[in-house]
Amino acid sequence: MKRYKLKLYVIIGLIGIAILSCARRVNYVESDEALLPVMVKGDKSSHQYLIVIAGGPAGDGIMYHYVFPFFKKLEKEYKVVYYDQRGSGNAKGEPPISSLNLDQHSIDLYKIISSIKVKDNMASIYLIGYSYGGSIALQFLKNQQFESQVEGTIMIAGAFDRKLRSKYQQQLTIEFLEQWVNEGYIESYDYLTSEFSCPPNIKSCKQDSLETIKKVNKRFKKIDKASKFPINLVSIKNLLHYGLFAPGSPFRSAKNEAKNAGYFQPEFDSLILVNDLEISSPMLLIAGRLDTNVPYYDAQHLYDELKLSNESKKLLILEQSGHLPMFTEPKLMIEAIRKFLQ
């Protein structure tokens, strides 16, 4: 019995040491009444820093190290910086509600970059904005003083003109339907339009329309899978690792998201950021052809509006990916990012 107790104490002690070790890997950057946890992982010899700007609003940024194997692959070659935004994850302090906006996110990001450059005067900074993180990154770049601090930006499924989301989604739906007609999968999609009226044979019309709807729904279910978080042994292990060893509490992160996401959302939903752009730093835009959350037209519009040379701006449309291309086509993304950084 004493042996079992001893083993139990040893296990508890090791877990405690591991948790404390994780906590030590986080530094806090103070910014306007908020304390932002920042964690740097990756190649210690590298002076290239990739700052991951999490999606959301109010998403957990440090979680990305644990649950997205894609970023761990980047860590083999570069320093990858993860942080929790104000009002998100395990960020501390009592920032006022009035500070929960993109302008303040940009100031926070600038202070994080400054803290990195104080420690490493050879640091080259690149941004990786995912989804809502793309909104933060673009807002940051629109400030010329801030933009001068970075060497380039990578946008993954970035959301920029969120106000046009419904328009883009309708456009994408029509694109899919026309593709399926051209493939011969469905005869037409007239049955789905409001202008359609049945021919004299109502029974036949009803059968044809139901068959079309059935086929279309089947395809859209397949498309939806491209944007869902995969549940398998690897992802479950990663989630457990995050829950047990992340420097912070997943419960606090969930609480912050539930509490603060609503304050960010109205601004996010009304965004029109792709106007009067004067961006001079290189940009790589990555979007999924099957992304119904942030259709790739958002990235295409930004690409077209950037006043950069073709050498300084790149657009990669991933044909098999939805809103989580880090899971569906990571190899193509790694190759594109590596080439962009070179």
Domain ranges of the chain: 2-165+236-341, 169-225
What is the three-class DSSP state of 4? helix
Residue that the structure tokens 């029109």 belong to: 272
Instruction: Say which CATH topology domain 2-165+236-341 has.
Output: Rossmann fold (3.40.50)
What are the φ and ψ backbone dihedral angles of 185, each rounded to 5 degrees?
-70, -40
Give the distance from CA 164 to its chain's centroid: 19
Identify the DSSP state of 36.
Answer: E
Output the pTM of the full model.
0.89
Kind and range of the H or E run holding 125: strand 124-130
Per-residue pLDDT tens listing for the chain (342 residues): 555 555 544 444 444 434 444 444 789 999 999 999 999 999 999 999 999 999 989 989 999 999 999 999 999 999 999 999 999 999 999 899 999 999 999 999 999 999 999 999 999 999 999 999 999 999 999 999 999 999 999 999 999 999 999 999 999 999 999 999 999 998 888 877 776 767 666 666 667 778 888 999 999 999 999 999 998 998 999 989 898 888 888 889 989 999 999 999 999 999 999 988 999 999 999 999 999 999 999 999 999 999 999 999 999 999 999 999 999 999 999 999 999 998
- Please identify which residue in the block is written with the tokens 């498309």: 223
Helices (H), 189-329: 202-225, 233-245, 250-269, 297-305, 325-328
